[in-house]
Every structure is written in structure tokens, then in C-alpha cells.
Amino acid sequence: MSSVVDTLIEMGFSKERAELAVNRTGGNDVQIAMDWLLSHEEELATPVLAPASIEAPQNVNETGSTDDKVTSEVPEAAPLAKSIQCDDCGKLFKTNEEVEFHASKSGHEHFSESTEEKKPLTEEEKKEQLAKIEAKLRQRRLEREAREKEEALLKEKIRIKSGKELLEAKKKHDELEMKKIVEQRKREKEEERLARQRVKEQIEQDKLARKAKFSGGSNIEVTSPPLAKPAIPKASAANYSEVKLQIRLPNGTALTQTFGAKEPLSAVRLYVEMHRKDADGPFNLMTTFPRK
């Protein structure tokens, strides 16, 4: 009901008339309440100023009786004001509410009492006023729909922008997570490589330690025939990276193996210790040519 009253007040009706129309019509429809107000306008109209009656004073004598002769003239009664006129535009109004509404809408400030009575609206005028009100209602509805459409469009833009920002943030987060995973895998691979390298170095150190251990035995010479070595070909300008040695053992058997050109003599000694079949014990390596 309050929404119907507010709409009628916005259309120019006073609060009292709007509430009365809502109570009389049930308060469900603005159009019905507005039609009721227009059809009962004459009944609701009240004079702005109440008529003021001026009585002629009576002369009272000393005995308290009234004198038949009037000692003073009775002033003429002032003309009765039947409406209020806007001095700026000349429109007539019946009630103060209409005056206030007109002043608020037009900005006019000069009003005066008028003896001219505002004529009731004819059927054509009522229809015209009703058409104006309906047009105003349609205009307000269109403005409200346009405003709601604009607000919905703005909300949709905000939603799309928020969705894009959310997707962008998620994309950046995924990229950072992927980058972290790639860096973690690189670190793991590097750690594995370093671990394998340490193992290889440890194995190499163990080999060198075993070689040093086996090469550090007694200096007792092994009585064995001199080791026969193949004839060394004439040196040439070529740079060889490998050398093939034949080692003859005391029992007459021979061991043949290819070694790197830069491998130490201890590697040959270790090979002999691991592959000799004649006997165990310390021995010395020697060659018949060239002697040093």
C-alpha cells in the first residue's frame, strides 16, 4: 500500500488524499486510486479560507437594554476568497497542497487570494489530465527500465571483468607453479648428477688406493727369467694413445694386454697380480732393452 501512496504523492496528490484514495479503493492499483481521486475532486475540494462574518456592534445604555438606533456604521463584509491565484502564470488552485505542489514544480513564488472560483474539471479536461498522468507514468517506467538496464549492463561488465581478472590470476598462479616444478626437477637432476659423480670419484679413489696398496709390497726380487718384450718399432711422428704389452711370467707363460699410453706402471703391475696363474708373492718388473 505504501508504494501506491508514494506514487500518488509523486504525481502531485497530497498525502491525505492519496491515503484516502488507497483506503477507499483497497490500495492495490495506482490507476484505480488515481481514477477515484479525479472523479471525487469536487467532493475533496475545501475552501482555502473560511468566510468571516462581521456583526455590527449594538449600543448598550446604562440600564443594560439595547438601543434601537445604531450609533456606528457597520463596515461592509470583505469579498470571500474562493481560490488562490499564481501571479506568475495566472493558474487557480483550490487547496494549499495544490499551491505547494505547483510552486515546487514551477518555481513560482508569488500567489494571492482570488474571488474567482476554480471551475470543476470537465470530462474532456479529466481525460486530458488522466492522459498526462498516464504519460508521466509511462515516462517514469521507461526511465526506470532504462536505469535498470544500465545497472544490469554495468553489473555484467563488472562480472566479466572480475572473471577475466580471476582467470588471469589463475593463469599466473599455474605458470608460477609450473615454473617451480621445472626448477625443482632441474635441481633434482643436478643433485643426481653430482651424486653419481661423487660415486664415480669414490670408486676411482678406491681403485687408486687398491693399486697403491698392491704396489707397496716387499722389494724382494722375483727370480724369474727376464721379461721378453716385443721389439719396439721405430718412433714416428704419430701420437699414439694406446700401447700393447706382453709380460712373460716365471713359469714361461705370457700375458698380453693393451694399456693407455698415459697409464702408470702400477696399472701394469696390478694387472699382472690379478691375472697371473703361476704363483702368488711379490715380484718385480724388468725389461732387457733398453737398460737404464
| Each residue's pLDDT tens digit, 112-168 | 887 777 667 677 877 887 788 788 888 988 999 999 999 999 999 998 988 888 888
**Which residues, 6 or more positions from 98, have their beta carbon under 8 angstroms from its beta carbon?**
12
pLDDT digits (tens, 9 = 90+) for 91-118: 877 777 778 877 887 888 888 887 777 6
For 44, the 3-state DSSP assignment is helix
CA distances from 145 to 14, 59, 141, 152, 153 (A): 27, 74, 6, 10, 12
Top-confidence residue, 232 or 195 = 195
Q: How far apart are CA 56 and CA 239, in angstroms?
A: 156
* Structure confidence at residue 23 as a pLDDT band (50, 70, 90): confident
Taking residue 31's Cβ as centre, other Cβ atoms within 10 Å add up to 13
What pTM, to 2 d.p., does this model score?
0.31
Question: Do 122 and 7 lie in a common domain?
Answer: yes
Please return the burial class of 166, using the count of CB atoms within 10 Å of its CB with bins 0-12, 13-18 and 19+.
exposed
Last residue of a domain, one of 142, 161, 185: 142
The arithmetic mean of pLDDT across residues 189-214, rounded, is: 90
Question: Do 131 and 8 lie in a common domain?
Answer: yes
Determine, yes or no, domain membership for 200.
Answer: no
The arithmetic mean of pLDDT across residues 257-265, rounded, is: 83
Determine, yes or no, domain membership for 207.
Answer: no
Q: How far apart are CA 266 and CA 279, in angstroms?
A: 19
* Structure confidence at residue 185 as a pLDDT band (50, 70, 90): very high
Taking residue 216's Cβ as centre, other Cβ atoms within 10 Å add up to 8
Number of domains composing the chain = 2
Task: Indicate the residue type of 119.
Answer: K
Question: Do 132 and 221 lie in a common domain?
Answer: no
* 242 membership: H or E segment, kind and range: strand 242-248
Determine, yes or no, domain membership for 235.
Answer: no
H-type alpha helices, 67-215 = 96-106, 123-215
Last residue of a domain, one of 114, 142, 170: 142
Residue-number span of the structural domain to which 44 is assigned = 2-48+77-142
